[in-house]
Structures are given as C-alpha cells and as structure tokens.
Amino acid sequence: MKRFAVLPALLLFFSMAHAQDAPSVSAKRDVSPANTEDARMKALEEQLRTLAGEVALLRSELKELRQSKSPEQSSGPQVLLASAHPQPGMLPSSPAPATAQTTQTQTFGGASGNAKLLNPDISLIGDFIGTVGHNNVSPGPSLELHESEIGLQAIIDPYSRADAFLSFGETGVNVEEAYITFTSLPAGLLLKVGKKRADFGKVNTIHNHALPFIDRPLVTYNLVGGEDGIDDAGFFLSRFLPAPKNWFLEGSAELLRGDSDDLFHASRRRDVSVVGHLRAYRDLSESTNLDLGVSYARGHNSLGSNFLTNLYGGDATIRWRPLRRAIYNSFIFRTELFWSARDQFSPTAPTLFQTQHAFGLYSYAEYRVNRRWTVGGRFDRSGHATDAHLTDSGFSGILTYWPSEFSQIRGQYRFGHLATAPSDFSNANEFLFQFLFVMGAHGAHPF
C-alpha cells in the first residue's frame, strides 16, 4: 500500500520544489513586461515538460510495482481480520523508505535481501529456577535467574560459520561455547575450533535450556565434574565413517586443553585431555529411530600432572515421533552409563596411590501428550568419583507446559537418596520450577 503513496508524495515534492524555484528564476530576469511574459511562458512550458516526463516515469514505475506487489494489497486486509489482532506495528506505516524501492528491479523473492544485513542471529534465553523443599547435601537457592544465555551465530565466510554462547549466571559470565566450524574441509572432515561442550555422550552436549529436565542428572555432578561437564578449549574433529547399510556412523576425536570444571585440570601445557566418541544411528521406521554411542575421555585431574582420570561412557536413545502428528505426540527414552577411573590417594590410607572406580547412570523417558504438554521421569544413580563407596540415587517426575515454541514452564519433583558417608544417607525432597523464555533467533540444536 505504502508504495502507492509514493506517487502523490513525489508529485507534491516536485511541484513544491518547482514552485519555490519559479519566483527566484523570474526575479533574476529583466523587468521588460514582454520579455517577462515570454520567459515565464517558456519556463512554464519547460516545467510542464519536466513534469510530464516525471509523471510518465512514475507511471511506468507504478505499473511495475503494481504488478510485482499486488499480493501485498490483497493480503493486507486478510492479515487484519478477526484471526489476527492488529498490533500498531502491523498496520501499514508511512512510506518513508519507499523512494529506495523505486529503483528496485527484482520483482520476485522474499525480503531476505535486506532484512538482516550482516548481523549475526542474536538470541537471549532466560532460565529462571525456583526450589522448595529440603536438601541438606546440595541445597540450591530458593529463587534464582540461573542463567541468561546470549547466543550469537553467523556464517563467517564461504568456508566457515561460528557460534558463540555466553552465559550470565549468578556468579559471573562464562563463555559456555564459542567456536568456529570449518564446513568446507576436504575428505568430509568437520573441524570445530574454540571452546565447546565435548561430544562425550548426550547430556554433556546439551545446553541447560534444551534439557528435558530442570537440573542435570546426578551422574553429571558426581562423575563428569559438575553442571558444565566437559566444556573446554581445543580442536573438535569429526567425520562420518563407512557403515553397514541403513546405519549411520560418526567418529569424533577431540583434543582439549585439559581444564573442565572439577573433572580435568591442566597443571602444565602437556596436560591436555582427549575425548573420543563413536555414534551409531539407525532409522527403525519412518517415525522410530535408535541412537547409540560410546565415549571416552582422558585427562589429568586436580591432584596434579601425575594423576589421570579416565572416563568411559555409553548411551542409548530410542525416539518415536509420528510424522503426521509430530507436533502433538512423541516419545523418547534415553539411558547413559558412565564409568570413572580416577587416580588418587586412597580415601582410607592417604599415602597409598590407587585408582578409584566409580559407576553412574541415568535413564529418562518423556512423552508429549499434546501440542502444549509433556510428561517425563528420570532415574538417577551414581557413585562419587573420589569415593565409589558413596552412592547417590534419586528419581524425578517432570511436567512441562509450552505456551508457544518460545517459552516454557516446567515443574519437577525430585527425590534424592544422597550418601554422606558409606552407610549414611540423607533424603532430599524438593520441588523445582522453571520459567524459560527465548528472544531473538536461536539456532536449531543438533539432533
């Protein structure tokens, strides 16, 4: 609509401009009445000619615009019918930028050309968590803005893209991930360089806001170093591997600095850590698939360069999502197993070197009941990395409501049977609730 307002606006502008020019032109002329008459006639004729040319030009442009942009006309009224509640911004605005459009020759295509320019996709995800109930072992605050994650994502050049996620938490800012991905390497290699969550199993790769629960499984805290898990700076190389028919195999090899939460600690430059992951995937049917993985990580722990931690993992996921009802129903079941072998001094005899072997797992299932609700449950069991005799266990029930794709309200009942000494347990009964909101364009997460 606004483009049609250009014509009268421009006409008005030109006529005003000429109206202002005209007196100044005539003022410079001689005062002879006959001369003035002639000159005025000529000037007027000249003006008329220019204006006629102007009108012809505008007409042809208008015709062009009408041909290319008539859909906007017809869709305009539809947008504002009962189904849509008009916002001030939805109404056609003043035709200010339209002059630039008149030179546009492209008649088809969306607005993609000028909508985003070179800005990266920017998003912010707010994660607000509240907790009630009692937990004597690892009590969380009653209310907290757990983190605000800012995502900046863009294609860097024809050969790479970059993704950065900065999380602002209660204790400060953390670069959760920031890495460049080289997408055009030969031989099917995919290389990421920067800081990233390592491909160790499944839950380690998932950002807080994308988890199917509010907290992380006990085993993440007990064996993988804490909330951030293996999240470190380094090289992340992966490639698809030749596989039997209908299977998908992917191998990853990652070389990291060796500083990851409480898990790995690099006292010197040589204390790098490595992570390896092998993933096998298969579609069982159009709607069901099986996803298996084994992982290995090795690094030096906080006791010093002479003390290593080896971590082994296995994961299995079954997903069901019928294509015709994908937005209404789906089901996922996942189990992850972790084995930790940590070099340390014996907890009982502090001068004795030993390797502490601890095991942990979690299993969870989630079902989407309809477009807005999902229900889920999780079982946890995990030894402590430093003392395998201490074993925590617990379970959770989770209910999630999605007002839209961009916000989420979740409640989680969590029971924990937490070990404080080899045969001494403390029970934790808690109810957690969470409000998540997404603003801006947050890139899709890998499957």
Question: Which lies closer to other proteins via its Cβ, residue 20 or residue 105?
Answer: 105
- Which residues touch 381 (CB under 8 Å, ≥6 apart)? 218, 219, 360, 361, 362, 391, 392, 393, 394
Q: Is 253 in the site for other proteins (CB under 8 A)?
A: yes
Question: By CB under 8 A, what part of segment 321-350 binds other proteins?
Answer: 321, 323-328, 343
Q: Is 279 in the site for other proteins (CB under 8 A)?
A: yes
Question: By CB under 8 A, what part of segment 33-62 binds other proteins?
Answer: none
Question: By CB under 8 A, what part of segment 419-438 binds other proteins?
Answer: none
Applying CB under 8 A, which of residues 194, 314, 397, 443 lies at the interface with other proteins? 443
Q: Considering only 35-43, 55-63, 204-212, 399-407, which stretch makes contact with other proteins by CB under 8 A?
A: 399-407
Question: Which lies closer to other proteins via its Cβ, residue 31 or residue 96?
Answer: 96
- Which residues touch 280 (CB under 8 Å, ≥6 apart)? 243, 247, 248, 249, 291, 292, 293
Question: By CB under 8 A, what part of segment 7-36 binds other proteins?
Answer: none
β partners of residue 151: 123, 165
Cβ atoms of 296 and 259 closer than 8 Å: no
CB crowding 144-168: b at 16 or more within 10 Å, else e = eebbbbbbbbeeeeeebbbbbbbbe
Q: Is 397 in the site for other proteins (CB under 8 A)?
A: no
Q: Is 307 in the site for other proteins (CB under 8 A)?
A: yes
Q: Is 168 in the site for other proteins (CB under 8 A)?
A: no
Question: Which lies closer to other proteins via its Cβ, residue 218 or residue 436?
Answer: 436
Q: Considering only 32-40, 138-146, 273-281, 426-434, which stretch makes contact with other proteins by CB under 8 A?
A: 273-281
DSSP one-letter code for 109: S
- In the numeric block, the tokens 């109810």 are attached to 431
Q: Is 142 in the site for other proteins (CB under 8 A)?
A: no
Cβ atoms of 226 and 260 closer than 8 Å: no
Tokens of 381: 């069991």
Tokens of 287: 């709607």
Shortest CB 325 distance to other proteins, Å: 7
* Cα–Cα distance, 428 to 417 (Å, whole number): 6
- Which residues touch 370 (CB under 8 Å, ≥6 apart)? 328, 329
Applying CB under 8 A, which of residues 108, 117, 285, 350 lies at the interface with other proteins? 108
Scanning 134-201, the segments in alpha helix (DSSP H) are none
Question: Which lies closer to other proteins via its Cβ, residue 72 or residue 262?
Answer: 72
Q: Considering only 12-20, 316-324, 388-396, 413-421, which stretch makes contact with other proteins by CB under 8 A?
A: 316-324
